[in-house]
Amino acid sequence: MTAASTTKEPRNTLNLRIPAAERNLIDRAAASAGKTRTDFILEAARRAAEDALLDRALMVVGSNAYAAFLARLDRPARANDRLRRTMRSKAPWDKA
């Protein structure tokens, strides 16, 4: 192995002040996932950060592409078997 593959990136400290009940909840969840508290929190925070940034993604397109996009949105949906099946099925969050 080379030195570059065996060295770890230095880590910084992030201090949090949280109520004991929330810390206990996080500890229980981390233990159930087989992770340390730090790894559990970092993974959850990273996922939330990525989601927040992806929700605000900006797409830049030319005027022709934008006009085609708007025209497609304005076009009425055409019924098909897959759409009919989807509309008749129960939503996963509805009780069975």
Q: Could you tell me the CA-to-CA distances from 40 to 12, 17, 27, 90 in Å, in that order?
A: 16, 17, 9, 34
Confidence (pTM): 0.52
Classify 22 as helix, strand or coil.
Answer: helix
Asked if pLDDT for residue 9 goes beyond 80, the answer is: yes
The model's pLDDT over 41-95, given as tens digits with 9 standing for 90+, comes to: 999 999 999 999 988 878 889 999 999 999 999 998 888 999 889 889 988 888 7
Q: What is the pLDDT of residue 73?
A: 93
Is there a contact between 77 and 83 (Cβ–Cβ < 8 Å)?
yes
Classify 95 as helix, strand or coil.
Answer: coil
Backbone angles phi, psi at 49, to 5 degrees: -65, -45
